[in-house]
């Protein structure tokens, strides 16, 4: 009786791989999972065994001579920290962390749109209609009511606005929490989603000390400044959010980065802001105008070529505002800077 070899065994599905190929892939995955990379135990330069692992820079260096032995080390541990066994048990989880910027907080399963399975094999043509129906049912189950649908639309708009304004993830999460609180307290009813999202982003940016001006938020959302300001005051009053007034020092780093100014100019501009605050010169003027003026003063004192027009366009203020703030600060702070 003839028995086929392992090489000749092929499943009836033409899209599946042979038995031999499957065994080979399993062996490769097993070897890859069990393979361990041994870290160096001594410095190749001075032969010292006093090595230090810097998790901030992802480097392994020698404490004696400072030689960097390895760099770009991948940390395979969790992103959270636990200081005792109880915290470790509470924070242990499977999958990505929960996010308030997603309508279902990232806890549901999302089916991909690719026509392939988890192993990368193509789905047969006869099963494509079935998978399409399953995707439609999965999408309907994730958003089952009008409130969840409006929340999904609002968080999608929030993600777009934060990306356009260049805001980090912490601001996005805080803005999502503010909007969820407003929706939970029925503060969104009767108001446009775009206007409330703009106010939530503006509030979160100020609370995280990464403020954006009303003009910038208005340009990113196509909502008028008057409407954003009204919704912002409404949210702050109803949700009892207390925010400090924005300082010119909050705008200086971003304006300096956009202008391509050096770190010395940025540091001097912040020092001028602090000195102006000590003498009570910041009561009244717009923070963006003061920040632009201090950057221009610092650039003149350090001899960097930054024109008033460049600073005005970056801070979205007029050149007249920069000249007025410039004269006030140089005269009252006794700074020898000439226009």
What DSSP string runs through 261-289? --HHHHHHHHHHHHHHHHTT--SSS-HHH
Contact 93, 105 (CB under 8 A): no
Question: Which residues lie closer than 8 Å to 132 by C-beta, 6 or more apart?
Answer: none
Of 103, 92, 213, 112, nearest to 156 by C-alpha is 103
Please name the residue ranges forming H helices in the chain.
19-34, 85-91, 128-142, 146-165, 169-184, 193-207, 214-221, 225-238, 248-259, 263-278, 287-302, 308-315, 319-332
- Cα 151 to Cα 146, 181, 222, distances in angstroms: 9, 11, 19
The whole-angstrom separation of Cα 195 and Cα 225 is 10
Q: What is the pLDDT of residue 199?
A: 94
Distance of CA 308 to the CA centre of its chain: 31
Taking alpha carbons only, the member of 177, 184, 222, 183 closest to residue 201 is: 177
Q: What is the pLDDT of residue 30?
A: 61
Is the distance from CB of 100 to CB of 177 less than 8 angstroms? yes
Q: Cα separations (Å) of 332 from 72, 137, 190, 279, 328?
A: 50, 68, 50, 9, 6
Output the pLDDT for position 8.
42
Given a cut of 50, the residues of the chain with pLDDT beneath it are: 1-15, 34-36
d(CA 80, CA 91): 8
Measured at the alpha carbon of residue 99, what is the angle toward residues 101 and 205, in degrees to the nearest 5?
A: 50
pLDDT for 138? 77
pTM for the complete prediction? 0.65
pLDDT of residue 3: 41
108: left (phi over 0), alpha (psi -120 to 50) or beta: beta
Tokens of 320: 């007249």
Ordered strands of the 68-71 beta sheet:
51-54, 59-62, 68-71
Query: What pLDDT does 198 receive?
Result: 94
Which string of b and e fits 165-187 if b means at least 16 CB within 10 Å?
bebeeebbbbbbebbbebbeeeb
């Amino acid at each position: 009786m003839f028995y086929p070899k392992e090489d000749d065994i092929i499943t009836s599905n033409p899209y599946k791989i042979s038995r031999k190929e499957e065994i080979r892939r399993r062996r490769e995955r097993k070897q890859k999972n069990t393979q361990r990379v041994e870290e160096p135990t001594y410095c190749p330069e001075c032969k010292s065994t006093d090595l230090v692992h810097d998790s901030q820079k992802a480097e392994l260096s020698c404490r004696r001579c400072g030689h960097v032995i390895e760099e770009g080390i991948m940390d395979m541990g969790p992103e959270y920290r636990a200081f005792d066994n109880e915290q470790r048990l509470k924070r242990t989880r499977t999958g990505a962390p929960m996010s308030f910027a997603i309508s279902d907080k990232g806890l549901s399963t999302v089916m991909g749109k690719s026509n392939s399975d988890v192993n990368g094999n193509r789905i047969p043509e006869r099963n494509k209609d079935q998978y399409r129906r399953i995707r439609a049912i999965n999408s309907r189950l994730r958003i089952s009511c009008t409130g969840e649908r409006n929340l999904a639309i609002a968080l999608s708009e929030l993600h777009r606005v934060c990306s356009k304004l260049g805001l980090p993830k912490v601001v996005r999460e805080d803005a999502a929490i503010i909007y969820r609180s407003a929706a939970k307290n029925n503060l969104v009813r009767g108001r446009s989603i775009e206007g409330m999202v703009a106010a939530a982003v503006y509030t979160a940016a100020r609370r995280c000390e990464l403020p954006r001006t009303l003009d910038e938020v208005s340009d990113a959302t196509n909502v008028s400044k008057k409407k954003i300001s009204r919704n912002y005051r409404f949210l702050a009053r109803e949700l009892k959010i207390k925010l400090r007034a924005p300082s010119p020092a909050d705008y200086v780093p971003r304006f300096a980065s956009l202008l391509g100014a050096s770190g010395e100019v940025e540091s001097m501009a912040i020092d001028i802001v602090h000195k102006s605050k000590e003498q009570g010169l910041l009561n009244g003027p717009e923070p963006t105008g003061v920040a632009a003026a201090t950057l221009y003063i610092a650039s003149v004192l350090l001899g960097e070529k930054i024109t008033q027009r460049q600073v005005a366009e970056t801070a979205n203020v007029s050149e007249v505002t920069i000249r007025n703030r410039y004269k006030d600060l140089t005269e009252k702070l006794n700074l020898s800077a000439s226009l």
